[in-house]
Structure 1
Amino acid sequence: MPTRGIYGERLPTSNGGQIGAVFGGTPTRIGGPMASITGMLSHSVMQISFNDPAGTGWNESAILGIPAMPIANPPLLVMFHSYNVSEWDCYLNTPIFKLALERGWYVIAPLGAHQVNFSIPYSQANIEAVLDWTMMTFPVDPNRIYGVGFSMGGGGVTSYMARHLDPAHPRFAAVVHHTGGVSIANTHENTVNPSVLEDASMFGGPPSLVPFKYAQASVMDIDGATGTINAATDMARNVAHIPLRSFTIASEPAATAYLRTQTLALFNWMLGFSSNGNWQEITGNTHEWIHLDPVTTLEFLRQQTLTMPRAGTHRVLADREGTWHHFYIEQDAPGAFTPFRWTMLDSLNRVVIDQTENLKRIVIDSASLGLHTQVVTEVVIGTSDGLPEEVTLSGYPTPPTSVSRGPQTTAAWSWNAVTEAVTLQEANASGYPLWTITP
């Protein structure tokens, strides 16, 4: 672990003190990772500890709020702490946690592996494991999961929403962030001491040496010298469908003014492809949670429910193999982005998959996307890198009677009886070939 922070300050050697007595002694498994109560503030607020819940090598802890009287279909509020403090930051330094509990919501504030995690993927893996456990343990409405974060946590909550789009796991219905560090490379350029980011337990070097590692932990890349945004690495494209409310203060202190710049850059960038963004300047001259109005925040979130883009045209930037909306992605090579775009045309029962790079195979959940495999289905494939790729469609309990590529039938396909899926083997999609599957 690094010993000095981004302002040159000495970092703690532990996750900070625990509040309350330790209960029990034997951790219990409740439908997920090993979890135990390690601190209790009240009957409603407690600290939960997890023993390496995601296999990252990092233990995890979280502050859990259980409402005394949950409302029907209760939401879950997920809070992301600020820099160099524990998860208790979300309970002690803003009234949002307590007011959400009073409304009958569940609340969870994960640590994210350690206090200076800057959205690094292993911290997000820990958080996902905590959220999986929470959803399996409490009767939370999966369509009403909300995220709130401040400063480093603002970057954390926006990065998490952009990297976690798998329907099998919790996804955010809406997010509020207050002056978030949404570009870790830009943060590196503006800090007094970037060694905390370059530490071997973090990104392992500066952005110039490991640009992908910084980009995958950010919702966008902002050049520190020019302020330009790298259009090839913005994961903000993934969340055009998610209501996002951004807050800044009018007089941000000089030491953290770059975070205000990052927040405004994200808002302006998303105006180009999303109508779900909102930015509000609030009164204040200190870098603190307290400027974020809790009632405004919770009222905004309360009105949102989870949506999943389907018809029309949508873009995704995947930073790893896995499920992204209706699609499972297999990459040609790890440690790099895989962009793709899909266009679903319901009237033609056609899907277009194009602008792909670093894509080995894409598996389409036909039912989720709205493809009707009982009738003729059309697939158009287009690549940006010119490499061969495969497109697999679920929903075929029997093999098709014919498959054609363009005007000609083709043998470049296969059917899997176990997975009930058809795979199209595209060797050269530079010309946007039209595949037709006849059941």
Structure 2
Amino acid sequence: MTDMHCGRVLGRIARRVGAVALAIGTAIAGAGEVQAQVSATPGGPSGGGTGTSPSSGAGRSQGSLRVPGSPITFHTANSKGGWFYLAPGIKARWVHDYPVWSGHPTVEIILAAGVSGHPTQEEKLLLQFPPNLFQIPESERAIVVAFHPYGVSYASPFNGSLLPALCEQRNWILLAPMGLNQTNFASVESQNTLDIVMALVLKILPFNRERVYTVGFSMGGLNAVSYAMRKQDPNGIRVAGVINHTGTMDVIQDYENGSSALKLILEDDEHFGGSPTEVPFAWERINPTKLTAANKVDPDRAPATNLVDLPIYLHVNTQDNQQGLVNMTYALHDYLLSLGADVFLSEVQAGSTHHWSTMDMAAALDFIDSGIAPGPAPSKGPVLELFADREDRYRLSEVLEIEPNLVANYRIVVQSPAVNAFAVQSTRAVRELALDLAPMKIDPAKVLTITTWSADFKAVTLVLRGYAKAPSTITVNGAPPTAWSYDPVTKELSIKPTANGSFAVVQVLP
């Protein structure tokens, strides 16, 4: 599914969510008063990492539930077999074995194919939340998105880790998505579906969009890192911290070293639609890093660079039987550390086992729980380097035109407000880039200097946002630019400095 088509689907789903949000919200938010009606007999496994599906309770008795502190009332008369049919394509049920996990209520939600954002695959998820959520200030409502490892269900973070109990202690929401299937390998389709799920959860259980944390183990570690690095719109939901437990950090290497059976799975239409050679962009766009033969990160193919301003907690069991994943984790750690990132590496010796339990989840959450999604401007110095796999908003910028089937890369250098200047450097695969001047403290009423050059020797049009009127003069290396225009409606100034992306010093005079 293309990003443009997914955007249209997301728009339709968002409108549908608006229509059913009241029904879903009342179904879920009344959990604090429904606990006495929930069966006390656990129906699912109580531990381990196999991640088998949860069991549900019986249908609710007739009556109504009132949400404390809210005017919402949910009438239970329409429940069937434990499922509440909320709207076409969306249903939910209480999970009656939640006391095994924590004292907070849990609901299972299924989005049918189509509603899920995928034409043929449904999406399933578990959602645990504080029963007094609406009494908690919205600024304190954090959410953990927990990703399962390869080949098991979305129940794995609940059954295999202490996340349910730890989120209960913190009064946090816990979301465990399937990602369309048990073997998704962070495919872009699974991430697009998660966008739809997050929009749904935000409607029914409003959380602080700046306190979203991702946690994952093994393949789930890939999901945790990849989803975070691709969420860069400062006006949208952005990840504030990442926990990666021995995750796949180079999906192409995993494919190349994998079995024939794994390759067939990942090549099918429900995953990447071909091999890395046949459809390289499908793999590159979600791949955190590309590793060299020396197990070093190739900086030109490292979208995980986008995470440099986040707290990142990495964990390995040095005796893990998946040594390839251990090496990938070390490579990611060394690379992020070289960039000045706030990264912590936890190492244990726990025998030849590959399991959630080797990591101290409480310590990991302690490390990230003060994290707030960073603002548009860089916090680790003047340079903000970004990788972009689609036309979308990113920090300080919006990619307006990108070369098809390529991951774009560019650097924005923010200078002191006193000099009223910035730089756009080393651009690759981006043909038109909008810059947000206000977060850089640029004053359009003063002379502005921009230094720019491309790494692929192709022209880039820079769109400067926030110009109240057209400038009097624009020069590039002392001469007129290749092209420029001004839009008084959008208050945008567009400049193409050179025809080939060569080094240029642009001066804009008010």
Q: Classify the TM-score, shorter chain.
A: 0.7 to 0.9
For residues 410 and 209 of structure 1, the distance between their equivalents in structure 2, rounded to whole angstroms, comes to 40
Partner of 2:106: 45
Spell out, residue by residue over 1:368-396, the C-alpha distance to the aligned partner (whole angstroms, 9 max, x if none). Answer: 33322233322222112222221001112
Spell out, residue by residue over 1:349-406, the C-alpha distance to the aligned partner (whole angstroms, 9 max, x if none). Answer: 2121110122210011222333222333222221122222210011123322333323
Indicate the larger mover: 105-114 or 374-383. Answer: 374-383
Letter in 1 for 2:83: F
For residues 136 and 26 of structure 1, the distance between their equivalents in structure 2, rounded to whole angstroms, comes to 14
- Tell me how far 1:184 sits from its aligned partner: 0.7
- Tell me how far 1:16 sits from its aligned partner: 6.9
Matches within 5 A, 1:16-415: 17=53, 19-21=55-57, 22-27=82-87, 35-41=90-96, 44-51=105-112, 52-53=114-115, 55-57=117-119, 58-70=121-133, 71-72=136-137, 73-192=140-259, 193=261, 194-223=263-292, 226-253=294-321, 256-285=322-351, 286-308=353-375, 310=377, 312-346=382-416, 347-408=418-479, 412-415=483-486
Given that residues 147 and 176 in structure 2 are in contact (C-alpha distance below 8 angstroms), is that contact kept between their aligned partners in structure 1? yes
Indicate the larger mover: 57-66 or 178-187. Answer: 57-66
Indicate the larger mover: 241-250 or 67-76. Answer: 67-76
For residues 246 and 16 of structure 1, the distance between their equivalents in structure 2, rounded to whole angstroms, comes to 26
Given that residues 246 and 280 in structure 1 are in contact (C-alpha distance below 8 angstroms), is that contact kept between their aligned partners in structure 2? yes
- Tell me how far 1:244 sits from its aligned partner: 0.7
- Tell me how far 1:411 sits from its aligned partner: 8.1
Which ranges of structure 2 fall in alignment gaps of 5 or more residues? 1-50, 58-81, 99-103
Which ranges of structure 1 fall in alignment gaps of 5 or more residues? 1-14, 29-33
For residues 35 and 102 of structure 1, the distance between their equivalents in structure 2, rounded to whole angstroms, comes to 30
C-alpha spacing 1:26/1:176, structure 2 compared with 1 (3 Å): closer
Given that residues 244 and 313 in structure 2 are in contact (C-alpha distance below 8 angstroms), is that contact kept between their aligned partners in structure 1? yes
For residues 225 and 468 of structure 2, the distance between their equivalents in structure 1, rounded to whole angstroms, comes to 39
Given that residues 241 and 308 in structure 1 are in contact (C-alpha distance below 8 angstroms), is that contact kept between their aligned partners in structure 2? no
Letter in 1 for 2:130: P
Given that residues 184 and 214 in structure 1 are in contact (C-alpha distance below 8 angstroms), is that contact kept between their aligned partners in structure 2? yes
Secondary structure of the residue aligned to 1:156 is helix
C-alpha spacing 1:137/1:350, structure 2 compared with 1 (3 Å): farther
- Tell me how far 1:141 sits from its aligned partner: 1.9
Partner of 1:7: none
For residues 39 and 95 of structure 1, the distance between their equivalents in structure 2, rounded to whole angstroms, comes to 20
- Tell me how far 1:36 sits from its aligned partner: 3.2
Secondary structure of the residue aligned to 1:195 is helix
- Tell me how far 1:127 sits from its aligned partner: 1.0
- Tell me how far 1:139 sits from its aligned partner: 3.3
C-alpha spacing 1:375/1:59, structure 2 compared with 1 (3 Å): farther
For residues 290 and 481 of structure 2, the distance between their equivalents in structure 1, rounded to whole angstroms, comes to 43
- Tell me how far 1:74 sits from its aligned partner: 1.8
- Tell me how far 1:48 sits from its aligned partner: 1.7
Partner of 2:33: none
Letter in 2 for 1:322: D
Given that residues 53 and 130 in structure 1 are in contact (C-alpha distance below 8 angstroms), is that contact kept between their aligned partners in structure 2? no
For residues 391 and 54 of structure 1, the distance between their equivalents in structure 2, rounded to whole angstroms, comes to 36
Secondary structure of the residue aligned to 2:83 is coil
For residues 353 and 273 of structure 1, the distance between their equivalents in structure 2, rounded to whole angstroms, comes to 19
- Tell me how far 1:309 sits from its aligned partner: 5.4
C-alpha spacing 1:429/1:55, structure 2 compared with 1 (3 Å): same
Secondary structure of the residue aligned to 1:48 is strand
Secondary structure of the residue aligned to 1:348 is coil
For residues 96 and 55 of structure 1, the distance between their equivalents in structure 2, rounded to whole angstroms, comes to 28
Spell out, residue by residue over 1:15-57, the C-alpha distance to the aligned partner (whole angstroms, 9 max, x if none). Answer: 97552153322328xxxxx743145335721112224456332
C-alpha spacing 1:411/1:299, structure 2 compared with 1 (3 Å): closer
Given that residues 219 and 234 in structure 1 are in contact (C-alpha distance below 8 angstroms), is that contact kept between their aligned partners in structure 2? yes
Letter in 2 for 1:56: H
Q: TM-score, normalised on structure 2?
A: 0.76
For residues 431 and 331 of structure 2, the distance between their equivalents in structure 1, rounded to whole angstroms, comes to 33
Given that residues 249 and 281 in structure 1 are in contact (C-alpha distance below 8 angstroms), is that contact kept between their aligned partners in structure 2? yes
- Runs of 4+ in structure 1 deviating by more than 6 angstroms, as ranges, are none
For residues 478 and 212 of structure 2, the distance between their equivalents in structure 1, rounded to whole angstroms, comes to 47
Spell out, residue by residue over 1:238-277, the C-alpha distance to the aligned partner (whole angstroms, 9 max, x if none). Answer: 1111111100113112xx2211111111111222212311
Secondary structure of the residue aligned to 1:205 is coil
Given that residues 81 and 111 in structure 1 are in contact (C-alpha distance below 8 angstroms), is that contact kept between their aligned partners in structure 2? yes
Secondary structure of the residue aligned to 2:84 is coil
For residues 83 and 372 of structure 1, the distance between their equivalents in structure 2, rounded to whole angstroms, comes to 50
Larger radius of gyration: 2
Given that residues 48 and 63 in structure 1 are in contact (C-alpha distance below 8 angstroms), is that contact kept between their aligned partners in structure 2? yes
C-alpha spacing 1:310/1:123, structure 2 compared with 1 (3 Å): same
- Alignment RMSD, CA only? 2.3
Given that residues 18 and 38 in structure 1 are in contact (C-alpha distance below 8 angstroms), is that contact kept between their aligned partners in structure 2? no
